[in-house]
Amino acid sequence: MMSIDQERLGLAGTREFTRPGAGAARRERLAAYNLDLMRELWADATAQVRVPGDGVALAVVGSVARRDGGPLSDYDLVLVHATRSFGGKKLDALADALWYPLWDKGIRLDHSIRTPKECRAVASDDLAAAVGLLDIEPVAGDELLVAQVRQSIAHDWRANARKRLPELVESLRVRHERHGGLANDLEPDLKEAAGGLRDMAVLRSLAAAWLADRPHGAVDAAYDRLLDVRDALHVVTGRGRDRLARQDQDAVAALLGEPDSDALLTSVVQAGRVISHALDDTVRRAGQSQRARALRTGPRRPILRPLGHGLYLHDGEVVLGSREMHQRGALVLLRAATAAASREVPIGPSTLRNLTGELPSIPAPWPAELRDAFVDLLASGPGLVRVWETLDLAGVIGAWLPEWSAVRGRPQRSPVHRHTVDRHLIETVVQAAALRDRVRRPDLLLIAALLHDIGKIAGVHDHAVEGAPVAVNIARRMGFDTADVEVLELLVREHLALVDLATRRDPHDPQTTKALVTAVEERPDVLELLAALTEADAIGAGPKAWTSWRAGLVRSLVEHARSALGERSMPVAGEDAVLDPVVVQRVALRAPYIVVNGTSSGATIEIADRDRPGLFAASARLLASFGMTVRSARVRTTDGIAHNTWQVEAPLADLPDAEQLVRGFQEPGRSSRRQPRVIPEGRRVGMPPSRATVVPDASADALVLEVRAADRPGLLGDLGDAFATQGLAIRSAHVATYAGQSLDTFYLTPAAVTPPDVARIIGALIDACDGAPPRAG
């Protein structure tokens, strides 16, 4: 005679695992079998022990009650009784008659004997018990008694939701820390890990508290996937296990019709991410619902904190204002994502649905403003991880970067890696954002970080070589010019070269240095990019990949390469020497020449006037006074006329027209008064310090200074004041903001300054970057 477990495994129908819809049908058969078995046990037990017609019942909780138990799931039974109707020795005898047959057959059993009052008391004291009892279902006996328990537990759960929610959130944190997450573990616990089956029970409990709706659709599909994997695990191991061990993965993959264990783990990762995201969102909705109830003393208007571009911070989420809800397009979505990531908050669900309902497409090549907005998102810091996953689950990343689907959720079986390929790429971007002050082109660093492992797909031997042409295609589609595309291709192809040379060869050997110099094509700027990418890649992989020993070897080799390259530096752009006759004529009339040309993301503003001390600072402050932020600028002086071209955005106000700017320019004091120092929320304590350096031999008749600092409102005005205070005139300037970092090059006169003067000037510029008052010259 077959055992109960053998019968349940037979009902699993191993040949039906790959048939569409087989999972739900299998679990329905198993549920019917389990309930029939327990009813038979009840009949046999009550034949031995006479029980009254009411006042006692057998109930089930857990997966069997939810009818989604696996082939070898354990039974969680509750013998419910009313003390006055049935108790004492007869109750104990009935329990023995129920439990012992199951134990004798080797069934895993969790059992209890309780009155309705005791059920309520246990649920009040034990959070896990409360969540389980919410699903209690009758098996046999007095069904009204079980309904009473279910109703009272649900009532208490709703009534005490305000107290239980923080307890529930803390229990989630503890469990997830203990068991890890489906998205990260190579041997995930399908039940207890973050994104696992247990989290779905929490989702149902939140809905039962009437605090938030339970999401469906993708969440239900993800849940079914995890149930299928668990069922297959039970079948191939012959045990009721929940941990998907490595030695079982190939067999489980074969049973489910997956090509290999990596494909199996990828599907588990994706399912876990969907459930985790849904749980986070539902917990947040529940907290908002509680706060709304606590504050409901009358009509209240929502508190909206403006973030610019029609976006607001409301109750811990980035949302579109009511007047801007009609806005669509990739640029709006990227701005919302950047605002959310830089503040480490989510995008509001309604705003996300509004912006992704009709998924905005991006033309190829991408317009410059979209590329800049995308780079701004990559530079937003640790909050990028959560926002990127939100966009990915919404289908945005796959639509804009189709190549991403090949690495999405793909596991890495290297002992140094703690993340899947796609998550590692985003972790590398986060680390690269913290290092972007070390390079001249932080935008290229961030894109290289995003794409460096894009070739790590199934069947590839050298993912760096495979990924380089993929990165080229993406970079071209993003609209990078040929020179930038070549740098990105080199970085992806050679992203392992530095660490391999440093750790596998003698970093002090001249031949090793020569190999590195060759790899970066003898370019100091590429060397700095590769050094930053190497460090970000290693830190993003995990602590085993960036030990102090490895870091020391890499940095030593980089220093040798810098020395080998000598004083070689990238050329600094010169200045234009020809003025438009219209500009000359207007300035000759003692009037500023100002033209505003609107763009999809802001405007190009030309300002020309007679050159004089403080003009650059006055122009920068004029733009700031109208709420504009500078993305880039070209400043040049020819024949006594300063002609400046500014690329600006106006996140918090409408763009002014040329007449408004002329009046502002002529208004006494407006363009010269200092704006208050403002540090954007994206800037964190501990960010790299501001730097100012002399660029040697960049000009024969000007002092050339390069200034790097975290971008902020009023920065250019403060720098202009510092130059004026030091008695320096700006002959030309090249201002650019990449990924939140301002990289500005200034040509200054007089050119002849002593070393002490240079030290004083650099100190004044650093003070200006940090918002300190200008030093006197």
The CA distance from 415 to 438, in Å, is: 29
- What would the CATH number be for the domain defined by 163-294? 1.20.120.330
> Counting Cβ atoms within 10 Å, is residue 256 exposed (0-12), middle (13-18) or buried (19+)?
buried
Fold of 583-769: Alpha-Beta Plaits (3.30.70)
What is the per-residue pLDDT across 699-733, written as a single tens digit (0 to 9) for each? 778 888 989 888 887 888 889 888 888 888 888 88
Strands (E), 62-129: 75-81, 109-114
pLDDT tier at 430 (50, 70, 90 boundaries)? very high
pLDDT tier at 696 (50, 70, 90 boundaries)? confident
What is the per-residue pLDDT across 182-204, written as a single tens digit (0 to 9) for each? 888 888 999 999 999 999 999 99
> Residue 187's closest CA among 242, 235, 116, 126?
242
Whether the full predicted model's pTM is greater than 0.85, yes or no, is: no
Is residue 665 scored above 80 in pLDDT? no
What is the per-residue pLDDT across 212-241, written as a single tens digit (0 to 9) for each? 888 888 999 999 999 999 999 999 998 888
What percentage of the chain reaches a pLDDT higher than 70? 92
* Residue 371 CB partners (closer than 8 Å, separation 6+): 478, 479, 480
The residue ranges of every structural domain in the chain are 4-159, 163-294, 407-570, 583-769
- What would the CATH number be for the domain defined by 4-159? 3.30.460.10
Q: Look up the CATH architecture of domain 407-570.
A: Orthogonal Bundle (1.10)
User: Which residue pairs, CB below 8 angstroms and at least 24 apart, start in 471-479?
Assistant: 473/403, 474/401, 474/403, 475/447, 475/451, 476/365, 477/364, 477/365, 477/366, 478/365, 478/366, 478/371, 478/374, 478/447, 479/365, 479/366, 479/367, 479/368, 479/371
pLDDT tier at 323 (50, 70, 90 boundaries)? low
Give the CA dihedral 367, 370, 371, 376, nearest 10 degrees. 160
The CA distance from 92 to 106, in Å, is: 21
Question: Crossing angle for the helix pair 197-208 and 261-294, nearest 10 degrees?
Answer: 20
The CA distance from 536 to 431, in Å, is: 5
The token pair that represents 378 in the structure block:
């990559």
The token pair that represents 30 in the structure block:
């198993």
pLDDT at 374: 95
Q: What's the chain's Rg over C-alpha atoms? A: 33
Quote the Cα angle for 304-308-312, to 5°. Answer: 25
Chain center to CA of 490:
27
Query: Is 163-294's fold the same as 407-570's?
Result: no
Give φ, ψ of 21 to 5 degrees: 80, 0
Helix (H, G, I), strand (E, B) or coil at 637: strand
C-alpha to C-alpha distances, 344 to 250, 259, 377, 678, nearest whole angstrom: 38, 38, 12, 19
> Counting Cβ atoms within 10 Å, is residue 577 exposed (0-12), middle (13-18) or buried (19+)?
exposed
The CA distance from 598 to 655, in Å, is: 8
* Residue 760 CB partners (closer than 8 Å, separation 6+): 726, 775, 777
The CA distance from 62 to 74, in Å, is: 9
